[in-house]
Structure 1
Amino acid sequence: MTAIKHALQRDIFTPNDERLLGIVNVCKAGKKKKNCFLCATVTTERPVQVKVVKVKKSDKGDFYKRQQTWELRDLTEVDAKDASKENPEFDLHFEKVYRWLASSTAEKNSFISCIWKLNQRYLRKKVEFVNVSSQLLEELPKAEESVPSGESQSVAGGDEDALDEYQELSTREEQDIEGMMEMCEYAISNAEAFAEKLFKELQVLDGANIQSIMASEKQVNILMQLLDEALGEVDTIEGKLSSYEEMLQSVKEQMDQISQSNRLIQISNTNNDTDQNYMDLSKGHIRALQEGDLTSPKGIEACINASEALLQCMNVALRPGHDKLMAVKQQQLLFAELRDTFARRLTNHLNNVFVHQVTILLQHVCQHSELGHDQSSTLSQHTAELTLPKHSPLHRDLLRYAKLMEWLKNTHREKYEGLSRFDVFEKFATLPRKESALKQETESLHGSSGKLTGSTSSLNKLTVQGSNSRRSQSSSLLDMGNMSASDLDVADRTKFDKIFEQVLSELEPLCLAEQDFISKFFKLQQHQTMEESDGGTPSRIPPQDMVRLMMNKIFQSIETELNSLIALGDKIDSFHSLYMLVKMSHHVWTAENVDPASYLSTTLGNVLVTVKRNFDKCISGQIRQMEEVKISKKSKVGILSFVTVFEEFAELAETIFRNAERRGDLDKAYVKLIRAVFMNVEKVASESQKTPRDVVMMENFHHIFSTLSRLKISCLDAERREAKHKYTDHLQSYVINSLGQPLEKLNHFFEGVEARVAQGVREEEVSYQLAFNKQELRKVIKEYPGKEVKKGLDNLYKKVDKHLCEEESLLQVVWHSMQDEFIRQYKHFEDLIGRCYPGSGITMEFTIQDMLEYFSSIAQSH
């Protein structure tokens, strides 16, 4: 191994300025043995680079070559496999794991020890050694660790011992050696003489050093004496500092006592100032609380300032023990008496204000109630009068007391709750009424909903007459006399829509304004309030729930009256549910955008459920009417009534639901209705005795297809295509079946010919069949001269005219289709004659031109 090591150093590493420090003979573990050498090297130039080099013999075997090189700083882990047993395997973890098998365990351990020493000396990032014996990982000498890495980390030796003993010369040392060697010309040629000269000079220097040390002994003694004197002075200074510290400690205690006395004096002065400043209510405030004017703006402002000052005095945070002072107790009793006195005055005044405001509101309602109770007036006349009284002036007058209500809420919870329960409205409802109309309006009013109730009462008094049509008549609503509902047009139906929209438009701002007033007046925006539960014990209720309770007391009849109005509209005309669904959905959406938790949003949402239920009932009713349709056995069917009703419904719905929020509900209803229409058209067509089934299907599906094409309802595109398909199929079926009658024998003859061909008889041999020979063919053709054909077509035209209805106007379409089908059959007959009777010279008694003239003249004559 030593010879190989010297050879590698000479041939491979010396030319690259590298030193070989460790070597191991290895092969890759688990593979066919191909020996190579792993070498640990360092560069001789700074900065020092440490590498692991893989060296292998050339294929010819006469020299070594470098195969692969890794930087030691890229090595992350060395795994010796087993630290207690001898094992020649080990792993080196670079960018990937390299597994090696050493020729001996001793070589492996020597190489790993060399790697560990190089890692400790040259690398900041330490390599992790796994399964390595602690004996191999010996610490480097401390003297070597103290050497700066930049000056003493090159390697001079050629083996592992040299790694620990070698110390690189510094630059200055190199210069000194070079200068010394230049002074002696024979330094290189005669090394022994040069070394002897250096030894003599070293002895001279050693003698000079000893003399210098002996000469400086006196000065060392003087220095030691000075140090002893300095230590004595230090002891003296420390004694003086200790005495000073004792004096400062006594001064500190005295200053602490003075500071404590000053603090007590300051606290006493502060307490006196607090009692004087914060528990002293001015005479002006006391006078305002006792007899202040609660009707004028200035008086209200003075009462507000006085109540706030009183509350501030009552809430002063007293020092511990101050509450036992007689002066403080007297002030507290005075404040409590002032609080109770002002609370009673404020409560009585607000009750009087409430009663006065309600009286004004009732007077306004009574002035407009005559129109609502006029039995002869029509709803068209009511439309212009459907207005609700505005409460903004009343709110403005009451909001002046909002801060006082907040004070009452913070000081007298019971009186505040008495006002928040609106007892004044319950008491006012018991007052005597001289006129029944005023009583009805007041009872329905119950907090500003009277005008709406009066309007719906007028609606409920409308005379609604029943009829056999799908909708009832309403002369009082539409002022249309005894006109049936089936004659109503869109303009007539929109009258109810205008009334319904006006009711909602009047109700919406009133409810929102009332809720906003309640929240501001009773200060329910941020704080929780108290409300007695059923058991009589106070319980916490969130502000939004308290607002909802108050609003329900005021507008408790709104939901009932709206449902009554909805029921009336549905009774007049079930199609009104379309208008109401769109309008109510829009107002619910608007209310939710303003305040999703508002009373109006909740109430309108509940009413919307009723409207949606009526809409679904309208759709179900139409489907039920389709299923109950009966046709006359003596008259032709024509366009079925429910097909016309669907068209009317679709036209009205498209007008109403344009850009509506509830378009999805209409699309679902469309799908249900159209499927019912399709199913019941087929049912009626199958049951029809007077009109052929194909005619019923053709006409009605043509009408449905035309309606859907005109209205362009996107969700019914598939049904529109299906309707067209059914129409064309039954048109073709009706034409083919009808054309078989004018040329019945001729049709039967050629059907027999086609049957023989289908059975395998060759076309040119059909004429040899007894029933289908040339003689029989001529006999059948002679039975259908031009006059007979025209006569048969004329009879066919009359029969088709009897089958078809006038409103759909399909006669000319059917006749033209029959003409095309007749020409097709004629050409088919000629083709069969040419193929089955070749060379016979047999032709039809009439030509295609003759047929065109027959069809044209028949159509013009009728």
Structure 2
Amino acid sequence: MTAIKHALQRDIFTPNDERLLGIVNVCKAGKKKKNCFLCATVTTERPVQVKVVKVKKSDKGDFYKRQQTWELRDLTQVDAKDASKENPEFDLHFEKVYRWLASSTAEKNSFISCIWKLNQRYLRKKVEFVNVSAQLLEELPKAEESVPSDESQSVAGGDEDALDDYQELSTREETDIESMMEMCEYAISNAEAFAEQLSKELQVLDGANIQSIMASEKQVNILMQLLDEALAEEMLQSVKEQMDQISQSNRLIQISNTNNGKLLDEIQFLVNYMDLSKGHIKALQDGDLTSPKGIEACINASEALLQCMNVALRPGHDKLMAVTQQQLLFADLRDTFARRLTNHLNNVLFVQYSTICGLPFTVIQGHDQSSTLSQHTAELTLPKHNPLHRDLLRYAKLMEWLKNTHREKYEGLSRTYVDYMSRLYEREIKDFFEVAKIKMAGTTKEAKGKFATLPRKESALKQETESLHGSSGKLTGSTSSLNKLTVQGSNSRRSQSSSLLDMGNMSASDLDVADRTKFDKIFEQVLSELEPLCLAEQDFISKFFKLQQHPTITPPLAQNIDTPCPQSEKDMVRLMMNKIFQSIETELNSLIALGDKIDSFNSLYMLVKMSHHVWTAENVDPASYLSTTLGNVLVTVKRNFDKCISGQIRQMEEVKISKKSKVGILLFVTGFEEFAELAETIFRNAERRGDLDKAYVKLIRAVFMNVEKVASESQKTPRDVVMMENFHHIFSTLSRLKISCLDAERREAKHKYTDHLQSYVINSLGQPLEKLNHFFEGVEARVAQGVREEEVSYQLAFNKQELRKVIKEYPGKEVKKGLDNLYKKVDKHLCEEESLLQVVWHSMQDEFIRQYKHFEDLIGRCYPGSGITMEFTIQDMLEYFSSIAQSH
């Protein structure tokens, strides 16, 4: 657009003695887009005429031409359509309404602003501006207001138009200005006095200019008379020379006035933007940094100083001695206040901080101080630092100023804060986790029993615990002792570990449910204390050190921390948090290891709790230090959980059974049941339910495989009994717990139980009527060979006489005796806890009746009309089975 503007000025308006002040690329609204330009111009001659000119390219497109011109005085209304939203449409009301669509809202606003300024300056009749924001109509530069209204200066404002008015000083003018500045020795040291003198001289020049103009009017009248005479006397040449002299004189006066005005503007600019009040200087040099009023004064003074230092100087300003002196003054004030602010925060605020926390400031130098552990032992809480954060945040704006003006001191203060806080937090967190470990180690009865048998006895343990409440020097010794206690206690616990095998020997009370619940509460308390502590510190760091404003910065701590330089302020915050809380991840992993040693099933509680806190931290800020740290620790917890599952599977594989006793329900089968009951309670509505489902599948497959392995190796108990009882127990467990991911395994367990029950019944029942079975097997064989069923009785070996002989060998008394022996045999095979004896006995009854009916059917088909029947009936058999079951 700038190139187009210069081309239009050169080709169209300069030849017509006009100056182009505003331009907008438009097309008529609602019609086919034929772009043209609306130009706001003023004439260079007086009286000034203001016009709106429509310019468009020629049909060939090689030059521009004027198409239509309107006088600004004929404009009655400017309608911008919408004052609150961006809209490129606008209307100009002349003798009729012209509707335009600008190429952009910015161009439209710039053009309307130019029209408003021209209207304000040159027209008595004011144009009505509709739907134009008040802010747009108030953007007339101050510099323009100071220029006399009778000067033909640019009304558009800005440096570009000002450059159009620039006139080079003649040699004589340069000599005059230098002489004038030499006469005024204070021109550099006292710019205001020099500007005042120039203003007075400018007024004198204006008066001389007016007198010259008035004198010129008299001369013009004389010249007009002379022209009349010259027409007769051929003296036109002398008239031309006089006119040229008058024109040259007026032009030189106008140039001088313009240059003097611009010089005054430059001086006024420097005075306005490079002057700092005495009150601000005093606040920077010795303002009170302890009271709220003093801090506010220092904040205002520092902001004013920053504005003076950041002012955009125009070309040539940096060569002025007064400007150089002011810049040196500003630099000295900046360094003085930065040094004073840094010393104050280092020597006073951090000392007050240590006092708020109940610790002498010498903790910074690493001296032994009284531990804060005793203050928080009972409730297992971490000290809160909100009062200190609140006090320090009063200086947040000053820290931002320090960051923008004196980076070195800002970085030094950041390093000092990080170093101090890392020492303080390391001490508090170490004490906090020591208490948590003591409470955690005391949750198990086994650990307590083991402690009682240690050589140091209970009094030694008490003394060790009391040493934790003493100085930090004793704290180191207590750590190793605690580790010894917890390891020995955990080894005792490990010897009675809550594995799937060992759990089978325990009752529900032996599982230490109360201890596990207590462990869960302790672990949750630890995470609940760490979470607000880290979030509060991170929020404070972001606000106090102003690390959330820009996308990239230079890291202040890169030389102090052996990590790659951060690329953003978020990296900077995370780097500071890593340094301050460098012990949290180590302490958490140590606590997790202790919990796993105490009871491997604690990994279930830790997985659920840690997952929930990671999920919560990620919702607050996925890139926060807390989210990252807990995520790293979660990996360790998940690894312990997987190790717990693998350990249960390994113990299943290593199980050995006694050769002299029946198997019954295997330990790892009941162990899986109790594991599932515990896990379902822990993982109810948990985020990591998928991990448990995967573990379930691994465990149940291992249970299936090892049940079959034990059943195959069993010598005392039949394989079918081992399979039947254990898969019945598994099926009952899965049906009761309703674990959806194990539906397929539940159906498989039922199928295995049913198959092995039937197999055991058939194999155990065998052929209670053995000779009858052999006899009828022979009958069926003859039929299979082609002998007709009604002719079987004519076979010598299978005639009616032989059948009666076999039936007589099985009276009811013998049958009942055989069934009684069978019941005793089954009772020896089955275990009491599964209570399957009656189920098996009922199945045997059904199988026996089935065989009986099969025999009767063969007699009816192969020996019709013989009248041969068994010596006992089905009703007799039902009584036999019932009486045998009741008698035992």
Q: Is the 1:155–1:162 Cα contact (8 Å) retained in structure 2?
A: no
Change in Cα spacing, 1:696 to 1:396, as seen in structure 2 (3 Å) is same
**Cα drift, residue 681 of structure 1:** 1.1
Task: Show CA shifts across 1:485-513 (max 9, x none).
Answer: 99214333121111111111111111111
Task: Find the counterpart in structure 2 of residue 497 from structure 1.
Answer: 520
Task: Find the counterpart in structure 2 of residue 394 from structure 1.
Answer: 388
2:767 to 741, 745, 769: 741
**Cα drift, residue 567 of structure 1:** 1.1
**Cα drift, residue 759 of structure 1:** 3.8
Task: Show CA shifts across 1:525-583 (max 9, x none).
Answer: 022565xx699999773101100100001111111111111111111111111111111
CA distance in 2, matches of 1:783, 1:121: 139
Change in Cα spacing, 1:761 to 1:158, as seen in structure 2 (3 Å) is farther
Change in Cα spacing, 1:845 to 1:104, as seen in structure 2 (3 Å) is closer
Q: Is the 1:55–1:64 Cα contact (8 Å) retained in structure 2?
A: yes
Moved more, 740-749 or 479-488: 479-488
Change in Cα spacing, 1:87 to 1:751, as seen in structure 2 (3 Å) is same
Moved more, 177-186 or 81-90: 177-186
2:477 matched to 1:454? yes
- Give me the TM-score of the superposition, normalised by structure 1: 0.60
Task: Show CA shifts across 1:46-69 (max 9, x none).
Answer: 999999999999999999999999
Task: Find the counterpart in structure 2 of residue 622 from structure 1.
Answer: 648
**Cα drift, residue 199 of structure 1:** 98
**Cα drift, residue 114 of structure 1:** 63
**Cα drift, residue 652 of structure 1:** 0.9
SS state of the match for residue 38, structure 2?
A: strand
Q: List gaps (5 residues or longer) in structure 2.
A: 261-271, 358-364, 416-449, 554-558
Change in Cα spacing, 1:140 to 1:772, as seen in structure 2 (3 Å) is farther
Task: Show CA shifts across 1:15-53 (max 9, x none).
Answer: 999999999999999999999999999999999999999
**Cα drift, residue 76 of structure 1:** 53
Change in Cα spacing, 1:476 to 1:20, as seen in structure 2 (3 Å) is closer
Identity of aligned residues (%): 96
Task: Find the counterpart in structure 2 of residue 343 from structure 1.
Answer: 338
Moved more, 186-195 or 548-557: 186-195
SS state of the match for residue 40, structure 1?
A: strand
Q: Is the 2:531–2:626 Cα contact (8 Å) retained in structure 1?
A: yes
Task: Find the counterpart in structure 2 of residue 235 from structure 1.
Answer: none
Moved more, 604-613 or 194-203: 194-203
**Cα drift, residue 679 of structure 1:** 1.4
Correspondence list, 1:417-816, <5 A: 417-421=411-415, 460=483, 462-465=485-488, 471-472=494-495, 487-527=510-550, 530=553, 541-740=567-766, 742-816=768-842
Change in Cα spacing, 1:404 to 1:178, as seen in structure 2 (3 Å) is closer
CA distance in 2, matches of 1:125, 1:184: 46
Q: Is the 1:478–1:492 Cα contact (8 Å) retained in structure 2?
A: no
Moved more, 379-388 or 683-692: 379-388
Moved more, 183-192 or 820-829: 183-192
SS state of the match for residue 135, structure 2?
A: coil
**Cα drift, residue 104 of structure 1:** 64
CA distance in 1, matches of 2:168, 2:324: 96
Q: Is the 1:25–1:102 Cα contact (8 Å) retained in structure 2?
A: yes
**Cα drift, residue 648 of structure 1:** 0.8
Change in Cα spacing, 1:10 to 1:278, as seen in structure 2 (3 Å) is closer
Moved more, 605-614 or 520-529: 520-529
CA distance in 2, matches of 1:778, 1:520: 107
**Cα drift, residue 103 of structure 1:** 62
**Cα drift, residue 780 of structure 1:** 2.5
Moved more, 519-528 or 124-133: 124-133
Task: Find the counterpart in structure 1 of residue 203 from structure 2.
Answer: 203
**Cα drift, residue 844 of structure 1:** 1.4
The count of aligned residue pairs is 826
Q: Is the 1:462–1:476 Cα contact (8 Å) retained in structure 2?
A: no
Moved more, 464-473 or 314-323: 464-473
Q: Is the 2:500–2:675 Cα contact (8 Å) retained in structure 1?
A: no
| Structure of greater relative contact order (alpha carbons < 8 Å, 6+ residues apart) | 2
Change in Cα spacing, 1:390 to 1:148, as seen in structure 2 (3 Å) is closer
**Cα drift, residue 728 of structure 1:** 1.3
2:866 matched to 1:840? yes
Q: Is the 1:447–1:555 Cα contact (8 Å) retained in structure 2?
A: no
Q: Is the 1:463–1:476 Cα contact (8 Å) retained in structure 2?
A: no
**Cα drift, residue 750 of structure 1:** 2.7
Moved more, 168-177 or 215-224: 168-177
CA distance in 1, matches of 2:692, 2:277: 71
CA distance in 2, matches of 1:640, 1:766: 52
Moved more, 833-842 or 401-410: 833-842
Change in Cα spacing, 1:711 to 1:38, as seen in structure 2 (3 Å) is closer
- Give me the TM-score of the superposition, normalised by structure 2: 0.59
Change in Cα spacing, 1:162 to 1:403, as seen in structure 2 (3 Å) is closer
Task: Show CA shifts across 1:680-728 (max 9, x none).
Answer: 1111111111111111111111101110111111111111111111111
Q: Is the 1:379–1:459 Cα contact (8 Å) retained in structure 2?
A: no
Moved more, 216-225 or 153-162: 153-162
Change in Cα spacing, 1:808 to 1:519, as seen in structure 2 (3 Å) is same
Q: Is the 1:27–1:35 Cα contact (8 Å) retained in structure 2?
A: yes
Q: Is the 1:27–1:100 Cα contact (8 Å) retained in structure 2?
A: yes
Change in Cα spacing, 1:80 to 1:818, as seen in structure 2 (3 Å) is same
Moved more, 348-357 or 612-621: 348-357
Q: List gaps (5 residues or longer) in structure 1.
A: 231-244, 358-364, 422-426
Change in Cα spacing, 1:16 to 1:444, as seen in structure 2 (3 Å) is closer
SS state of the match for residue 384, structure 1?
A: coil
**Cα drift, residue 399 of structure 1:** 0.6
Change in Cα spacing, 1:629 to 1:132, as seen in structure 2 (3 Å) is closer
CA distance in 1, matches of 2:5, 2:521: 111
Change in Cα spacing, 1:569 to 1:266, as seen in structure 2 (3 Å) is farther
Change in Cα spacing, 1:256 to 1:407, as seen in structure 2 (3 Å) is farther
Change in Cα spacing, 1:521 to 1:432, as seen in structure 2 (3 Å) is farther
Q: Is the 2:144–2:157 Cα contact (8 Å) retained in structure 1?
A: no
**Cα drift, residue 522 of structure 1:** 0.7
Task: Find the counterpart in structure 1 of residue 248 from structure 2.
Answer: 260
Moved more, 579-588 or 99-108: 99-108
CA distance in 2, matches of 1:9, 1:262: 24
What's the RMSD between the two structures over aligned residues? Answer: 26.4
Task: Find the counterpart in structure 2 of residue 114 from structure 1.
Answer: 114
Task: Show CA shifts across 1:382-406 (max 9, x none).
Answer: 9952211112111101111111111
Change in Cα spacing, 1:331 to 1:351, as seen in structure 2 (3 Å) is same
Q: Is the 1:528–1:540 Cα contact (8 Å) retained in structure 2?
A: no
**Cα drift, residue 484 of structure 1:** 10
Task: Show CA shifts across 1:305-358 (max 9, x none).
Answer: 11111111111222222222222222211111111111111111111245425x
Change in Cα spacing, 1:683 to 1:52, as seen in structure 2 (3 Å) is farther
Change in Cα spacing, 1:127 to 1:643, as seen in structure 2 (3 Å) is farther
Moved more, 261-270 or 216-225: 216-225
Task: Show CA shifts across 1:633-661 (max 9, x none).
Answer: 11011001111111011111111111111
Q: Is the 1:156–1:162 Cα contact (8 Å) retained in structure 2?
A: no
Q: Is the 1:24–1:107 Cα contact (8 Å) retained in structure 2?
A: yes
Change in Cα spacing, 1:13 to 1:848, as seen in structure 2 (3 Å) is farther
Change in Cα spacing, 1:44 to 1:180, as seen in structure 2 (3 Å) is farther
**Cα drift, residue 515 of structure 1:** 0.7
CA distance in 2, matches of 1:588, 1:563: 15
Task: Show CA shifts across 1:772-803 (max 9, x none).
Answer: 33333333322221111111111111111111
Q: Is the 2:52–2:71 Cα contact (8 Å) retained in structure 1?
A: yes
SS state of the match for residue 566, structure 2?
A: strand
Change in Cα spacing, 1:586 to 1:344, as seen in structure 2 (3 Å) is same
CA distance in 2, matches of 1:322, 1:141: 20
Change in Cα spacing, 1:674 to 1:290, as seen in structure 2 (3 Å) is same
Moved more, 113-122 or 698-707: 113-122
Change in Cα spacing, 1:278 to 1:12, as seen in structure 2 (3 Å) is closer
Q: Which protein is bigger by CA-based radius of gyration? A: 1
Q: Is the 1:380–1:478 Cα contact (8 Å) retained in structure 2?
A: no
Q: Is the 2:141–2:157 Cα contact (8 Å) retained in structure 1?
A: no
CA distance in 1, matches of 2:100, 2:865: 103
Change in Cα spacing, 1:617 to 1:397, as seen in structure 2 (3 Å) is same
Change in Cα spacing, 1:350 to 1:837, as seen in structure 2 (3 Å) is same
